[in-house]
Amino acid sequence: MRYWHPFTEEAAHQIKKDGITRLVVLPLYPQFSISTTGSSIRALHDIFRKDNVLSKLPVAIIKSWYRRDGYIKSMADLIEKELQSFDNPQEVMIFFSAHGVPVTYVVNAGDPYKDQMEECIYLIMQELKARGIDNKHRLAYQSRVGPVQWLKPYTDEVLVELGQEGVKSLLAVPVSFVSEHIETLEEIDMEYKELALKSGVENWGRVPALGCTSSFIADLADAVIEALPSATPMSTLATPSSAQQFRHNPVGYAIKIFFGSFFTLLLLLFPHHLYKALEDRLVRTYKDDITLPRGDSVGPALLEAIEASHIAVIVFSKNYADSSWCLDELVHIMECKADKNDRKQLEALAGSHKWFGDGSRIIITTRDEHVLKTRKVDHISEVTLLSQDEGIHLFKKHAYNEEEPLKDYGKLSLRVVSYAHGLPLALKVLGSFLYDKNEKEWMSTFDRLKEIPESEIVEKLKISYDGLKKLEKELFLDIACFFRHRIKDNAMEIFEACGFHPDIGIKVLIQKALITIDSYGRFDMHDLVQEMAHDIVRGEHLS
């Protein structure tokens, strides 16, 4: 099993121990979804390809079996039997409740689950109609979690609607489950039953899961026997030598080495064919929360996946910017992965324009402008700070509490926006911190920030400082503490006299966006960068 004993790893170990010579993989999900059957197959691929014995084992995979006559007839048998428990069977609404999946899986990742589920319901109802049973039916989706949009209609909403429409007798059918568990025994039998009865349904029934129904088990056995001849090894060790691959395609070889060795992160709504192509080549992928068990918090788990990955492949959908969820993911990727400050890193990943096909657009983010100039990039675009209006909008997204709105939110928020001076990081951190605070706590936070800046902001800003050489660090701290708003030429004379040889150091600080030269020829920097410098000095001189 994926999330309990025996785990996939344990089963694979036993397969190897028993000396199995052919294997059929039969997921107990009638319909295929990349979040269920797909997740299980990916886990198996990952285990098998790393083992010299298992990688050669002939394997057949049954990806879905909802069309099989044995399954359809077994479901129809159970429904027909339960209908007879009602006083007026012909008046009963047959209510199919299927496990839901996020809409993005279907729309953007090409998950066939929705289409297969609808076809499955059609086949079951056709079988019932052939038996003279022509009841009305509805399909809905249950078990949604997290902030994303899931397949609709939702089971709980449809139950309320049916009650309002005057449906008095209802038979619930857990169509995507073949065994009893929390989603049938608690979610359907308790939560949904209670909701249906409160909404006006008077007679409630529920079809049991297929379990060990003899006709169902016999059909699964037939499916396994039919699949055996198609068994082939999941992966092969017979590949060209590394030298041959490198000579033929150095870029492709480098990508293969990265993708074959590391956990690959695929995010933000990418096309199904790309996802499938990588999966077919046994690249372990992570798409949003596809590999998460139900109940996990998608946000933290996704952020951990980003941080643990060595490569991020980001493919943007047309309307990705409409989703705050997508934008938050992108920000975290940029913070963790895309900041190329090492010339050798950039040379290895994008060594020449010739590496990429016509029409390619390579976007590089860095804290060091010098890295871009050494690679002769076509265009350098400096990141600008947010305007006041943009800052207010971003801060409100993180700080405004609709349930308990702050009385003087407008006036207080302007103080924070002014303090952040257009720096998105500061607005996001402070907004999240102040979200559930009262007016007194907001004021206390302002007073504290005057003396000690927020540690999370300081740590992010220190990344550029930590990359400086010793003399460059001293030069930066001197400018922050003594020479901000001082004429550059006058300050340079002092630095020269102190043995700093400042010309190259100042250039480095400007390239790393730690300092600027204003229109009057004076040293300047962001207020929070200066506060970061003061915090560093305090830490070095605690006494």
In this predicted model, what pLDDT tens digit does every residue of 248-297 receive, in sequence order? 454 444 444 333 333 334 433 344 555 666 665 555 565 554 444 434 44
The reply to whether 201 and 327 lie within a common domain is: no
User: ∠ at Cα 461 (458, 462), nearest 5°?
Assistant: 85
Listed range (191-205, 318-332, 393-407) with the worst mean pLDDT: 318-332
- Specify if 245 maps to a domain: no
| 369 and 300, same domain (yes or no) | yes
Report residue 267: phi and psi, to 5°: -130, 175
The answer on 195 and 83 residing in a single domain is yes
Asked whether residue 402 is assigned to any structural domain, the reply reads: yes
Q: Which residues make Cβ contacts (< 8 Å) with residue 258, sequence separation at least 6?
A: 264, 310, 311
For position 502, which CATH number holds?
1.10.10.10
Is residue 195, in this structure, part of any structural domain at all?
Answer: yes
From CA 110, how far away is CA 112, in angstroms rounded?
A: 6
Residues 82 and 196 in one domain: yes
Phi, psi at residue 154, to the nearest 5°?
-80, 140
pLDDT in tens, 195-206: 999 999 999 999
Q: Which range has the worst mean pLDDT, 60-69, 124-133, 313-322?
A: 313-322
Q: Is residue 228 situated within a structural domain?
A: yes
Q: How far apart are CA 41 and CA 105, in angstroms?
A: 17
At 428 the pLDDT is: 81
Task: Classify residue 254: in a domain, yes or no.
Answer: no
**Residue 381 within any structural domain of the chain:** no
Task: Looking at the structure, tell me whether residues 125 and 139 fall in a common domain.
Answer: yes
**Are 78 and 46 part of one and the same domain?**
no
Residue at 252 is within a domain: no
Q: Residues 121, 162: one domain?
A: yes
**Domain finish residue from 206, 228, 258:** 206
59 vs 24, 232, 424, CA distance in Å?
Answer: 6, 5, 51
Instruction: Tell me the C-alpha distance between 101 and 13, whole Å.
Output: 31
Shared domain check, 136 and 36: no
Could you tell me if 463 and 527 lie in one domain?
yes
116 and 77 fall within a common domain? yes
What DSSP assignment string belongs to 160-202? Answer: HHHHHTT--EEEEEETT-SS--HIIIIIIIIIIHHHHHHTT--
Q: What are phi and psi of 459, to 5 degrees?
A: -65, -40
Pick the residue with more confidence: 1 or 170?
A: 170
> Looking at the structure, do residues 446 and 465 belong to the same domain, yes or no?
no
Q: Is residue 31 part of a domain?
A: yes
Where b means 16+ CB within 10 Å and e means fewer, 80-103 reads bebbeebeeeeebbbbbbbbbbbe
> pLDDT value at position 270?
41
Residues 105 and 185 in one domain: yes
> Which residues form the domain of 509?
457-541
Tokens matching residue 208? 């049991």
Asked if residues 192 and 172 have their Cβ atoms less than 8 Å apart, the reply is: yes
* Residue showing tokens 């966006």: 513
Can you give the pTM of this predicted structure?
0.49
Cβ–Cβ under 8 Å, residues 101 and 17: no
- The CATH number covering residue 87 comes to 3.40.50.1400
* Counted domains in the chain: 5
